[in-house]
A and B are shown apart, each in its own frame.
Chain A
């Protein structure tokens, strides 16, 4: 898959991951191990979920809804909706990785690793890098993040039962803090901030008044469309 000298760049990517981001996402997603335990899943299933789903909000949603005995079809729908954000993330990274001879199977594999952490670091580091080095660097970085987090998920499964209650509470809050901060960090325009604000204001209302497990869907559509509309009309007026 790689050119001969690209092993160096693979390890450069791995080192970059170990210098911070991999620990960071690994620690944040430890709480999904605890959530899996609360949902009566075995630790191996929690680790499999990290390796396969590799999307924090989707994993949190999956185990949270499983613990609440939500219907599987409704969970699949909610998980899919929460992962829709991966589409624009992948679309903004893949063109940077694609060369003239890059196979589609390579891109499919690369796309699997794109989630908040890998996306944010890719946007930051890939543009200044020679094109032939990007793919090995990307895979070194992404595999390290995913591998370490799969291990910490297993650790989190057991750890939350062994640590004092206040620390366990702190562990459960890691991913909410991380997701909100990373989303705010990636916000580039007014619509992003509007979506965050509208989501926060409307969430208690939809939780109180929309039943049947559709409150998140209703919230996402109403707050999301509401945040997108002002910009849409502004761009139309300007065009």
Chain B
């Protein structure tokens, strides 16, 4: 019925673009009447944050072929390095990425 190989662009628009973009459209509609401090907005923010973490855990625990060359403990350990660098360098996103990448590449190199 629905074959991604036949309809890749349609899939991108219908299953990827529209479900995502609807929140941006909604924001334009309600931007002028919503209170930034409202409880609903706080709840949405927390739910969205937890979801993002869930997505990351999924990528790490059920890896693609490319990522699976690094053992699970190396994948998890890389996050420890990233977090340590993040806080050591005053919440630096760049430092977190550099440290995490160094750890995962080294892990995949030696134990892959």
A residues near B (Cβ < 8 Å) are 24, 28, 34-35, 38-42, 44-45, 48-49, 52-53, 55, 57-62, 64, 66-67, 72, 75-77, 79-88, 90-92, 94-95, 98, 104, 107-108, 111-112, 114, 160, 165-185, 187, 191-192, 194-196, 198-200, 202-204, 206-207, 215-216, 219-225, 227-228, 231-232, 235
- In the A-B complex, the 9 residue pairs with the closest CB atoms: A224-B47, A199-B53, A85-B48, A90-B27, A80-B19, A223-B50, A203-B57, A166-B108, A220-B51
Contact residues in B for A85 (Cβ distance below 8 Å): 44-45, 48-49, 51-52
Nearest CB to that of B43 among chain A residues? A228
Query: DSSP majority for the A interface?
Result: helix
Nearest CB to that of A222 among chain B residues? B50
Query: DSSP majority for the B interface?
Result: helix
Nearest CB to that of B20 among chain A residues? A83
Query: How many residues from B make CB contacts under 8 Å with A?
Result: 76
For residue A55, give the distance in angstroms from its CB to the closest CB of chain B.
5
Nearest CB to that of A221 among chain B residues? B47
B105–A169 contact, CB under 8 A?
Answer: yes
**Residue in A24, A184, A232 whose beta carbon sits within 8 Å of that of B91 in the complex:** A184
Cα–Cα, bound, A132→B96 (Å): 36
**Contacts A80-B20, A94-B27, A170-B101; A203 near B69 (Cβ below 8 A):** no
For residue A192, give the distance in angstroms from its CB to the closest CB of chain B.
6
Contact residues in A for B54 (Cβ distance below 8 Å): 199, 203, 206, 215-216, 219-220, 223
A165–B75 contact, CB under 8 A?
Answer: no
Nearest CB to that of A215 among chain B residues? B54
Q: A177-B78, A177-B97 are in contact. List 8 more A-B contacts (CB 8 A).
A: A38-B66, A53-B16, A72-B2, A166-B70, A174-B101, A216-B54, A227-B49, A232-B42
B31–A183 contact, CB under 8 A?
Answer: no
* A–B Cβ pairs within 8 angstroms, 15 of them: A35-B64, A38-B64, A45-B12, A72-B15, A75-B15, A79-B19, A90-B31, A91-B34, A192-B46, A204-B61, A206-B54, A215-B54, A216-B55, A228-B39, A228-B42
Nearest CB to that of A95 among chain B residues? B31
User: Which B17-51 residues have a C-beta within 8 angstroms of A?
Assistant: 17-28, 30-32, 34, 36, 39, 41-51
- Looking at B22, B55, B79, B91, the one whose CB has the most chain A CB atoms below 10 A away is B55
B47–A220 contact, CB under 8 A?
Answer: yes
B15–A179 contact, CB under 8 A?
Answer: no
B96–A224 contact, CB under 8 A?
Answer: no
For residue A172, give the distance in angstroms from its CB to the closest CB of chain B.
4
